[in-house]
C-alpha cells in the first residue's frame, strides 16, 4: 500500500476518533476529562510519533 499525506491523515484521525469513542463508551472517566485532556494528549503524542517515524523512514530510505 502506497501511503501519502491524505491516507496518513485519515488513518491518524480514525485512530484518534476510535480511541476517544472507546473511552467515552467505557465511561472510565468523565466526558469532559476525556475531551479536554486525553484526546488532545493523544493528538500531540501521535504527531510526535508520526514525525519521528517519518524522519526514521527518510533516514532508512537514504542509508
> Mind listing the pLDDT tens digit for each residue in 3-30?
789 999 999 999 999 999 999 999 999 9
Residue 1 — very low, low, confident or very high, per pLDDT cuts 50/70/90?
A: low
| Pair 29, 38: CB distance under 8 Å | yes
Per DSSP, the three-state class of 59 is helix
Where exactly are the structural domains of the chain?
A: 32-63
**What is the value of pTM for the model shown?**
0.83
> H or E segment at 63?
none
Distance CA 42, CA 50 (A): 12
Q: What is the mean pLDDT of residues 27-48?
A: 96
The proportion of the chain whose per-residue pLDDT surpasses 90, expressed as a percent, equals 94
Contact 38, 17 (CB under 8 A): no
Q: Is 80 exceeded by the pLDDT of residue 41?
A: yes
| Integer Cα distance of 35 and 32 in angstroms | 5
Amino acid at each position: 500500500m502506497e501511503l501519502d499525506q491524505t491516507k496518513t491523515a485519515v488513518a491518524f484521525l480514525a485512530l484518534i476518533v476510535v480511541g476517544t469513542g472507546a473511552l467515552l463508551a467505557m465511561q472510565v472517566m468523565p466526558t469532559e476529562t476525556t475531551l479536554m485532556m486525553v484526546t488532545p494528549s493523544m493528538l500531540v503524542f501521535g504527531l510526535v510519533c508520526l514525525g519521528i517515524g517519518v524522519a526514521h523512514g527518510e533516514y532508512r530510505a537514504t542509508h
